Amino acid sequence: AQTVTQSQPEMSVQEAETVTLSCTYDTSESDYYLFWYKQPPSRQMILVIRQEAYKQQNATENRFSVNFQKAAKSFSLKISDSQLGDAAMYFCAYRSADSWGKLQFGAGTQVVVTP
């Protein structure tokens, strides 16, 4: 079974600064997908960014980018120019290519943004 580890329970960042959230995973598969989800206090899970394992290029969505290191099984999320609205719980998730869409989640990292 795959496991996803987020070792940072909480990260604090000042507005306009950059914060990086770490995520590692354990798998023996070669084809899979990785995701970062954001959960604000409203509880709505919002997809932030996704990466296909066979793509070398790191995914980017506006101020959000990932550093995908397949050999190291690492998938970190960088939030640039942090805004107050970025404050939320962030979950890293793994999905096998053929798994009916089942996601395996990490424990989450709470991001606190200070003015």
Partner 1 sequence: DVKVTQSSRYLVKRTGEKVFLECVQDMDHENMFWYRQDPGLGLRLIYFSYDVKMKEKGDIPEGYSVSREKKERFSLILESASTNQTSMYLCASRGAGSSYNSPLHFGNGTRLTVT
Instruction: Tell which one of 36, 68, 94, 106 touches partner 1 (CB under 8 A).
Output: 106
| CA–CA separation, 96 and 94 (whole Å) | 7
Q: Per rule CB under 8 A, is residue 100 in the interface with partner 1?
A: yes
Please, which of residues 2-31 interact with partner 1 by CB under 8 A? 4, 6, 9
Q: Per rule CB under 8 A, is residue 64 in the interface with partner 1?
A: no
Instruction: Tell which one of 24, 67, 87, 105 touches partner 1 (CB under 8 A).
Output: 105
| CA–CA separation, 78 and 87 (whole Å) | 14
Kindly tell me which of 16 and 47 has the beta carbon lying closer to partner 1.
Answer: 47
Chain residues that interact with partner 1, rule: CB under 8 A: 1, 4, 6, 9, 33, 35, 42-45, 47, 50, 52, 91, 95, 97-98, 100-108
